[in-house]
Amino acid sequence: MGTKARAAVQVADRRYEIEEFDLPVIGPDAALLRVDACGMCGSDVEQYDGGFAALGVGYPLIPGHEPVGTIAEIGSEAARRWGVRAGDRVAVEPVLGCGYCRACLVGDYRRCRSVRPGAALNAYGYLPTAVAPGLWGGYAEYMYLEPRTVVHRLSADLPLELAAMYQPMAAGIRWAAHDSGLKAGDTVVVLGCGQRGLTGVVAAREAGAGRIIVTGLAKDAHKLDLARQFGADHTIVADEDDTVAAVAEFTGGAGADVVVDVTAVSTRPIVDAVEIAKPGATIVLAGVKGSGATVPGLVPDKIVAKELTLKGLWSQDIRAFEPALRLIESRKYPLERLHTHTFGLDEVATAVETLAGRVRGEDAVHVMIAPHLT
């Protein structure tokens, strides 16, 4: 280990520069992580395009909020509190709760709003480099782990491609299983087949779903194929077939007990969800549609008449990260099929463009950055 870390720093919308940072001095309650890999998700595309800058998350900053790495150095207090030692492989939760506010005290640290001076969001990958010691993101060789960090130790022989899926897997578990009210035997419709739609299929299968139906677009043929490999019973090409009619056909007119919408931008799936939901069903809304988006065609009285539960879900926490890591480690599902691309630090922009589907000929599902790859 030298005394410097290279990092991909976002300096403006769609622009990264490689910079070197001094490795921070590690106090008794903190640690230094050698970043082995960092997963990339849809919100990285939004961040790349400037969507978070609009919310006040200022530049320059080191993005990357799905890091997996090896503890390079750790203070005695942090080692005692976190139960890890130097040399351990860990996955890092993105959210940095303050530990003192009401949200943190009742265990909802995802909702902590006690933001640091100079920052707009309390999460790795979103703190500007101006907040000391600067190494707050996973697109760097090393990352500072501050005292409130939540880390999860994981098996050292787990391939990095799999380890770096802990966040999409946790989202799938929380959105499609834990918080959707899914019961064994239920019919589940997952609208959207990105990383989180596909991990949702795995989670629903694991939770005992009776029938799983997944939608995607014609251009998502490779993802719909993966959905079937992970246990989906039926897939629907939403821009060619009528989703509502297809679900009616697959369920003999009964509809879905649980509908999970993970599509981005498009609001049409929300209208479809209300149509395909059984009376008493739960609809999980977890796809971000863009600020100011409204839902044309939504008939609220159908929600009333069918007594539907609409549940918005955002991100995930320890309750989902723990089972996600255990499920990945179990190797029960061929999750390695989700991984499509690995890039080095110098290629972060290409990686984001690839994940976003803006690189012709590349069908990306799970993309990760390996900062030490040269």
Give the x-and-dash track for 290-319 against Zn ion (CB under 5 A): ------------------------------
264 binds Zn ion (CB under 5 A): no
How many amino acids of this chain bind Zn ion (CB under 5 A)? 7
For residue 345, give the DSSP letter. Answer: G
Question: Among 61, 95, 96, 112, which residue sits at the site for Zn ion (rule: CB under 5 A)?
Answer: 112
Structure tokens at 312: 């918005």
Q: Which of 64, 69, 97, 128 binds Zn ion (CB under 5 A)?
A: 97
* Contact between 116 and 127 (Cβ < 8 Å): yes
Whose Cβ is closer to Zn ion: residue 256's or residue 328's? 328
Considering only residues 57 to 86 of the shown chain, the ones binding Zn ion according to CB under 5 A are none
Angle between helices 348-355 and 42-49 (to 10 degrees): 120
Q: Which of 26, 45, 79, 98 binds Zn ion (CB under 5 A)?
A: 98
Q: Which residues pair with 144 in a beta bridge?
A: 32
Vertex 48: Cα angle to 44 and 49 (nearest 5): 120
- Of 21 and 52, which CB lies nearer to Zn ion in the complex structure? 52
- Cβ 279 to Zn ion shortest distance, Å: 34
Q: Closest distance between Zn ion and the C-beta of residue 94, in Å? A: 7
Q: Is 371 in the site for Zn ion (CB under 5 A)?
A: no
Tokens of residue 326, six digits = 């255990």
Q: Which helix (H) or strand (E) holds 91?
A: strand 89-92
- Concatenating the DSSP letter of every residue in 30-85 gives -EEEEEEEEEE-HHHHHHHHTTTGGGT-PSSB-----EEEEEEEE-HHHHHHHT--
Tell which one of 41, 71, 170, 345 touches Zn ion (CB under 5 A).
Answer: 41
Query: In the bound complex, what is the minimum distance in angstroms from residue 66's beta carbon to Zn ion?
Result: 5
Radius of gyration of the chain (CA): 21
Q: Choose which of 53, 101, 264, 349 interacts with Zn ion (CB under 5 A).
A: 101
Q: How far is the CB of 109 from Zn ion (least distance, A)?
A: 6
Task: Considering the complex, state which of residue 97 and residue 255 has its C-beta at the smaller distance from Zn ion.
Answer: 97
195 vs 215, beta carbon nearer Zn ion: 195
Side chain identity at residue 135, one-letter code:
L
Give CA–CA dist 282/40, Å, rounded: 29
Instruction: Tally Cβ neighbours within 10 Å of residue 23.
Output: 18
* Torsion sign (Cα): 325, 62, 95, 205: negative
**Structural contact between residues 33 and 90, judged by C-beta atoms closer than 8 angstroms:** yes
Quote the least distance from Cβ 341 to Zn ion, whole Å: 16
Applying CB under 5 A, does 104 fall inside the site for Zn ion? yes
Segment near Zn ion (CB under 5 A), from 24-32, 85-93, 96-104, 277-285? Answer: 96-104
> Which residues bind to Zn ion, rule: CB under 5 A?
41, 97-98, 101, 104, 112, 114
